[in-house]
Structure 1
Amino acid sequence: MMSEADFAGRGTTPLVLTIPGLNSSGPTHWQSIWERTRGDCDRVDLGMWASPRRNSWVTKLDHAIKMAPAPVILVAHSLGCLAVAWWAALEGQPYGWPVAGALLVAPPDCDRNDACQAVGGFGPVPKVSLPFPSVVVASRDDPYASIDRSHSMAKFWGSHFVDVGALGHINAESDVGAWLFGQRLLDRLIASANDRARMPPGDRSSAGPWSLYPPVAAPGPEHSGTRG
């Protein structure tokens, strides 16, 4: 992996690593569509998709991050969001490097009494401020997490929070296709990472994707918050 100074000097675009959840993401899932159409997205093969183990997923995610040829933006869905949070809790990094940002979509509540065994195995939800700018996107009728619990997870992680209204689990069944709104959020994270790399080191930790640019309007109800 190149150094942060090299990245700033070359203006290299970050690599996007997609991280599916339980049972992976099928061909009509927006993650799969992004991988086919954007040209900057690579899936992390976490394995054991039907019976995931937290530590195994964290180890494989850590390997993918460390092997990436450029700084990375993580795009996680569902249980993949918990893998990212646990990676931050167990592995960590200096702020914003090598992970330069994360889009965390529909994290499930792994602390619920009715959570399935695979999801419950990722509990408790880590209460750690993520060492990179991040955005949590949640739906008001997600069967795996209430909107209030999703907001709480965003607060634990120091993430910006976006409420997209009633989109279920924001998956293939949500009929979002290529999910253009999600791509706008991702593009914001990428642009922010590029600009932040050119800043003096002392200014980077306060420069998230919403501090550098006007906010992106959601296609429905949106609640947003910042760190804390």
Structure 2
Amino acid sequence: MLLLPGWLNSGPGHWQTLWEGYFGDLRVEQHDWQQPRRGDWMARLDEVVMDLPRPALVAAHSLGCHLLAAWAAHSQHRAKVLGALLVAPPDPAQEDWPAALRPSWNQPVLQPLPFPSLVLHSTDDPFDRAGRAPALAQAWGARCVNLGTRGHVNAESGLGLWPQGRSYLRSLTEAG
């Protein structure tokens, strides 16, 4: 399992960090979490995927969702991804899109992913106030599930180890 955190990484109480510690999932460590450049992040993801001993599932959060979409549009190693859980993709068109993410992430890649994918989103996500996650899911060819009021589906959402997220992840392999 590969974990793709978003901007600023996933902190101690985040479900990705808990999955890494409990299940031994592999976090893709980026060289710069503060000023992420899309090309740099894509290159790092490609390095990690190339080194995988076998195909893996991916659990992306926030900006990690956009990273996976951009990477999948260009990488020759897409076959090493069995499926992707895309959690709380942010809206780059949002007025208060952070300056650190401009211009590198302003234009999301909007083409179907070449592997089974599932977008999970919340109705009160502060990084998707316009509710564009379902449109992103459609563009990516992903199934879409509304989790209700879960904020940014991060540590502040109080999910803990988030067994429901793990079930959604398993559903990707069962659907194929």
Correspondent of 1:34 among 7, 13, 19: 19
Q: Give the distance between the partners of 1:171 and 1:133, measured in 2 at CA.
A: 23
Tell me how many residue pairs correspond in the alignment. Answer: 175
Equivalent residue letter for 1:136 = V
Alignment match, 2:101: 119
Q: Give the distance between the partners of 1:112 and 1:90, measured in 2 at CA.
A: 25
RMSD: 1.5
Contact 1:139 1:147 in 2 (8 A): no
Correspondent of 1:163 among 123, 131, 146: 146
Alignment match, 1:67: 51
Equivalent residue letter for 2:108 = V
Correspondent of 1:137 among 120, 142, 148: 120
Q: Which has the larger radius of gyration?
A: 1
* C-alpha distance after superposition, 1:30-56 (max 9, x if no partner): 0010111123x1111112111111100
Alignment match, 1:105: 87
- The CA deviation at 1:70 is 0.7
Q: Give the distance between the partners of 2:52 and 2:105, measured in 1 at CA.
A: 25
Q: Give the distance between the partners of 1:180 and 1:64, measured in 2 at CA.
A: 26
TM-score by length of 2: 0.94
Alignment match, 2:167: 184
Matched, 1:24 2:9: yes
Contact 1:140 1:147 in 2 (8 A): no
* C-alpha distance after superposition, 1:2-59 (max 9, x if no partner): xxxxxxxxxxxxxx000101110111100010111123x1111112111111100000
Q: Give the distance between the partners of 1:23 and 1:156, measured in 2 at CA.
A: 26
Alignment match, 1:47: 31
Unaligned segments of structure 2, at least 5 residues: none
Alignment match, 1:82: 66
Equivalent residue letter for 1:119 = L
TM-score by length of 1: 0.73
Q: Give the distance between the partners of 1:65 and 1:147, measured in 2 at CA.
A: 33
Equivalent residue letter for 1:129 = P
- The CA deviation at 1:182 is 0.3
Contact 2:6 2:64 in 1 (8 A): yes
SS in 1 for 2:131: helix
- The CA deviation at 1:147 is 6.3
Contact 2:46 2:77 in 1 (8 A): no
Equivalent residue letter for 2:18 = I
Equivalent residue letter for 2:93 = D
- The CA deviation at 1:117 is 1.8
SS in 2 for 1:169: coil
SS in 1 for 2:119: strand
* C-alpha distance after superposition, 1:184-226 (max 9, x if no partner): 111222x43xxxxxxxxxxxxxxxx2xx6xxxxxxxxxxxxxx
* Structure 1, 141-150 or 131-140: larger mean CA deviation: 141-150
